[in-house]
């Protein structure tokens, strides 16, 4: 399939290293944030979410950090694997469940074996 993110910033990491993907969000009223992974030809796949009353949330191999002061999100992936190669988007919304999402620009993650 075709690549989704031809003009997006790219992060290249070695297999086994940790990855950090950053995102600046736009609306200070947003109170719920989600990271999605999108592989070529597929829809966005949920990775992890965080509510605005939290600064950090951990999942399996992934951690999301939220800095509301500077409206910044980051996604940390531990021990990056070739299967992690994809485009990563952050999304924000108001009302922490069931509302429309506003997506950031996306980052391409390439994992080198």
Q: Which residues bind another protein (CB under 8 A)?
A: 2, 4-8, 34, 36, 41-46, 48-49, 89, 91, 96-98, 100-106
Nearest CB to another protein, comparing residues 36 and 80: 36
* Nearest C-alpha neighbor of 52 from the set 73, 37, 77, 35: 73
CB of 41 to another protein, least distance (A): 8
Nearest CB to another protein, comparing residues 28 and 40: 40
Burial degree of 89 (CB within 10 A; 0-12, 13-18, 19+): buried
Question: What are the backbone dihedrals phi and psi of residue 57, each rounded to the nearest 5 degrees, phi first?
Answer: -145, 140
CB of 89 closer than 8 Å to CB of 44: yes
Nearest CB to another protein, comparing residues 9 and 16: 9
CB of 70 to another protein, least distance (A): 20
């Amino acid at each position: 399939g075709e690549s989704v993110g031809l003009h997006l910033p790219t992060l290249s990491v070695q297999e086994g290293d940790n990855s950090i993907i950053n995102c600046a969000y736009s609306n200070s009223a947003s109170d719920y944030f989600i990271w999605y992974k999108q592989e070529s030809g597929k829809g966005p796949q949920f990775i992890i979410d965080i509510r605005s009353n939290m600064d950090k949330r951990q999942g399996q191999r992934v951690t999301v950090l939220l800095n509301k002061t500077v409206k910044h999100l980051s996604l940390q992936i531990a021990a990056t694997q070739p299967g992690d190669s994809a485009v990563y988007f952050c999304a924000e919304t108001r009302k922490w469940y069931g509302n429309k999402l506003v997506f950031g620009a996306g980052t391409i993650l390439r994992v080198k074996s």
